[in-house]
Amino acid sequence: MNCPFRRPLGPFFLSLCAGVSPTHASAADPVGGNGLIGQTWQRVSDGQAWQAEGHWRLALAPFAAHFRPSDEHQDVHALALERQCNDGWLAGASYFRNSFGQPSAYVYLGQRHTRLMGVPPLFFQWSAGLMYGYTGRYKDKVPLNIDGFSPGALVGLGWQLGRSSSAMLHLLGDAALMLQFSYDFR
C-alpha cells in the first residue's frame, strides 16, 4: 500500500497526546480536559488569547537554512504579529513565502516559557495551528495537506536581547531552521 504522507506521523502524535493531557477528564472539567489541549481549547473558545493582559510582538524571519538543500528552494521570509499574554500564552498570525516561493500563512496558539534552565534571557516557545500554502505540485511537501490547508507546529529556542527585543531559532519540522528577530510593544 502506498502512503500519501512522506513522513510517519503516528509516533509523533501518539507521544504528543500522551504528554499533553495527563489528567483524566470528569464531568466538571472543561471541554478537552484540564491538560494542554483543554487549556488551549478554552483560550480559543472564550477569547482569552486576544483579550488577556499582555503586549503585542512583531516578528521578522529573514533567513532559513534547509537541512537538505534543493535547487527548487527559494529564500524564505516571514512576518508575524503575536499577542503575548502575561501568563505565557500567545496567539498570532504569520505571512511567509514558503521554500517554493508560494505565499503562505499560519495562524496559531502557543506558549513562551521564560527563564529556561534558570537562565533569565533563555526561553523556549511552541505554537500549533493551521497553515495555508503548499499548493499545486508542492502539496505533498507538508503532511495532512487538504487543498492547501494543513496543521502546523513550531518549536523554538530564543534569547531575550533586552526588554523589548529577542532572537529565536525555529525548527521547521525536519526541513529547516529559521532565524527570527522580534520586537515587543510594551
Do the domain assignments include residue 28? no
Burial 40-71 (b: 16+ CB within 10 A, else e): beebeeeebbeeeebeebebebeebeeeeeee
- The domain of 58 spans 53-185
The predicted pLDDT at position 38 comes to 73
What backbone phi and psi angles, to 5 degrees, belong to 144?
Answer: 60, 35
Q: Output the CA torsion 113→118→57→81 (10° steps).
A: -40
Rg (CA), the chain: 17
Q: Mean per-residue pLDDT for 16-38?
A: 54
- pLDDT tens, residue by residue, 137-154: 999 999 999 999 999 999
With a cut of 90, say whether residue 129 has pLDDT above it: yes
Residue 105 forms part of a structural domain: yes
Percentage with pLDDT > 70 across the chain? 76
> Greater confidence, 94 or 23?
94
Report helix, strand and coil shares of the chain as percent, to nearest 5.
20, 45, 35
Q: What is the pLDDT of residues 33-71, one digit of tens each?
A: 677 667 766 766 676 666 778 999 999 999 999 999 999
Closest C-alpha to 152, from 180, 179, 175: 175
Residue 185: DSSP 8-state:
E
How many separate domains does the chain show?
Answer: 1
Cβ atoms within 10 A of the Cβ of 91, count? Answer: 23
* 26 found inside a domain: no
The most distant pair of C-alpha atoms in the chain lies apart, rounded to whole Å, by 55
Convert the pLDDT of each residue in 155-176 to its tens digit.
Answer: 999 999 999 999 999 999 889 9
Per-residue confidence (pLDDT) for residue 34, from 0 to 100: 73
Residue 34 lies in a domain: no
**Per-chain mean pLDDT for the chain:** 84
- Assess if residue 17 is contained within a domain: no
CATH number, domain of 82, equals: 2.40.160.20
Whether residue 20 is contained in a domain is answered as: no
Rounded to two decimals, the pTM is: 0.77
Query: Which of 36-40, 52-56, 84-88, 95-99 has the lowest average pLDDT?
Result: 36-40
Dihedral sign computed on CA atoms, order 93, 186, 166, 74: positive
Q: Does some domain include residue 47?
A: no
For residue 31, give the DSSP letter.
T
- With respect to residue 150, please indicate whether it lies within any of the assigned structural domains: yes
Query: Hey, what's the cell of 71?
Result: 535547487
pLDDT of residue 32: 60
The single-letter DSSP state of residue 138 is: G
